[in-house]
């Protein structure tokens, strides 16, 4: 029997639907699961650290990485660029680790072309009203930014049918449990 190649899990969902928190929850205590840290041109928010949430780079640096084919996928979102480092993902799956990519719907489509066997999970809030309340409570973005994110959420939610699983984040514990169940089942699934 050959070495097991790692799985790729793609998690998408509107900004403010709990992707970061849920990501942390599924990663903690699972040594075979790693998260890919993306590269972005967005400035760091308060509390974000280089190499932990993102690798923060200039537009010029991003363009040179993109031209050097260093990204598995990339997208422009809210005027900033975001990309998944290609080498990291291949290195981990070749080591037999499962990799989680927390990326937007445009990026997910690109990953599907490279890894059709990847597992696509869409995370959504119970409603746009709940999402709006969460974004306001988070206070990370200005009012205009929140409006932009809500419109974007509406657009993104139209793509949920392209995903293998839709997880509604109404209750954090329940959503965590569902994500962990998906990961466990995919690990024992015979393709
Ligand atoms: P934020 O700026 O709120 O951290 O992220 C904005 C959006 O960019 C989120 O939907 C997030 O999932 C997405 N995103 C983060 N990193 C990447 C990436 O490497 N590629 C793509 N396509 N989307 C990303």
Ligand 1 pocket test target in 44, 77, 83, 148 with most atoms within 8 Å of CB: 77
Domains defined for the chain, CATH in brackets: 8-190 (3.40.50.300)
What does the alpha-carbon distance between residue 130 and residue 61 come to, in Å, rounded to a whole number? Answer: 37
* Alpha helix positions (H), the chain: 19-27, 59-67, 86-94, 105-114, 128-138, 143-157, 172-188
**Beta partners for residue 86, in sequence order:** none
Instruction: Name the residue at shortest CA distance from atom 7 of ligand 1.
Output: 104
Strands 80-85 and 38-40: antiparallel
Full pLDDT tens readout for the chain, 191 residues: 557 899 999 999 998 888 989 999 999 989 999 999 999 999 999 999 999 999 999 999 999 999 999 999 999 998 999 999 999 999 999 999 999 999 999 999 999 999 999 999 999 999 989 988 888 887 666 778 888 889 989 999 999 999 999 999 999 999 999 999 999 999 999 97
Hey, what's the torsion of the CAs at 164, 146, 154, 173, to 10 degrees? 40
Name the residue among 44, 38, 16, 2 with its Cα closest to residue 131: 16
Q: Specify the pTM.
A: 0.93
Ligand 1 atom at minimum distance from 38 CA: 19
């Amino acid at each position: 029997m050959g070495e097991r190649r790692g799985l790729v899990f793609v998690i998408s969902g509107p900004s403010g639907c709990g992707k970061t928190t849920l990501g942390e929850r599924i990663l903690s205590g699972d040594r075979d699961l790693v998260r890919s840290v993306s590269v972005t041109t967005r400035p760091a928010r308060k509390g974000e650290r280089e190499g932990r949430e993102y690798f923060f780079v200039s537009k010029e640096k991003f363009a040179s990485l993109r031209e050097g084919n260093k990204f598995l996928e990339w997208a422009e979102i809210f005027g900033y660029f975001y990309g998944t480092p290609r080498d990291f993902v291949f290195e981990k799956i070749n080591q037999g680790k499962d990799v989680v990519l927390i990326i937007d719907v445009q990026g997910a489509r690109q990953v599907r072309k490279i890894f059709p066997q990847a597992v696509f999970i869409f995370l959504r809030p119970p409603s746009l009203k709940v999402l709006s309340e969460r974004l306001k409570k988070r206070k990370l973005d200005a009012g205009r930014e929140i409006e932009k994110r809500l419109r974007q959420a509406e657009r993104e939610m139209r793509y949920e049918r392209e995903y293998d699983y839709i997880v509604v984040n109404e209750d954090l514990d329940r959503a965590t449990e569902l994500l962990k169940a998906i990961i466990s089942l995919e690990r024992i699934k015979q393709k």
